[in-house]
Structure 1
Amino acid sequence: MTVTYLMLARLPEGGLEAFDAYESTVLPLLAEHGGRLQRRLRTPDDRVEAHLVTFPATENLDAYRADPRRAAAAPLLKSSGAAVELIAVRDVQS
């Protein structure tokens, strides 16, 4: 069963450059863990970024989050000052 997550990152003034450097490092790792970035959105003021990401199973997300290359990039995320929220979501039929 595919699992879907919404990631929201709220960026402080001046945090975008470090956040972009972090994203450039970790987003390519998604595919190695079966993940797929469905959508990447940013507010016009560059202060909030949202990702819609899918994985084949929760275990794939866990493996992505435990990837040592992602951990090595964590100082970039910290220096960006981003407040990150990961939310499990599902499709709603209208």
Structure 2
Amino acid sequence: MAEVLLAVVVDMVAGREDDGQRFEDDVLARLGKHGGTLERRLRTADAGSEVHLLRFTSRAGYEAFLADPDRLALRDKVGHAAPAARVLEVKDV
């Protein structure tokens, strides 16, 4: 079972940064349920973007996180204020 390391670039919707940050708080709180951990969370000075470094104990855990119905419901609830995320699978070098 190989770990999965991800760098996630999250772009908030302009004018809805507070909603986007609350959404990210709620979603990131669900990581542990799926064997994931937040190693770093960085925010730009203008609060328009965040960078997350996430680690999952397995690919199955990551896939379960993506399919988590509670996570998906949170995304539906935030609607148009949901941030856009670019996920990069990375490795230590």
> TM-score, normalized by length of structure 2?
0.89
How far apart, in 2, do the equivalents of 1:90 and 1:37 lie? Answer: 15
State the match for 1:12 in structure 2. 13
* Separation of aligned partners in 1, 2:84 and 2:90: 19
Equivalent residues of 1:15, 1:79 under 8 A apart: no
Are the aligned partners of 1:39 and 1:51 in contact in 2 as well (CA < 8 Å)?
Answer: yes
Query: Using the alignment, how far apart are the partners of 1:2 and 1:81 within structure 2?
Result: 27
Q: Which residue of 2 aligns with 1:54?
A: 55
Deviations 1:34-84 (A, max 9, x none): 0000000011111110000000111110001111100100121x4225221
- Alpha-carbon RMSD across the aligned residues, in angstroms, is 1.3
Q: How many percent identity over aligned positions?
A: 33
Q: How many residues align?
A: 91
Q: Output one character per residue of 1:8-58: Cα deviation in whole Å (capped at 9) or x when no partner.
A: 011232121211221222111100100000000011111110000000111
Structure 2 residue identity aligned to 1:37: L
Question: Which letter maps to 2:8?
Answer: M
Task: Return the TM-score normalized by structure 1.
Answer: 0.88
In structure 1, the gaps of 5 or more residues are none
How far apart are the structure 1 equivalents of 2:74 and 2:82?
Answer: 14
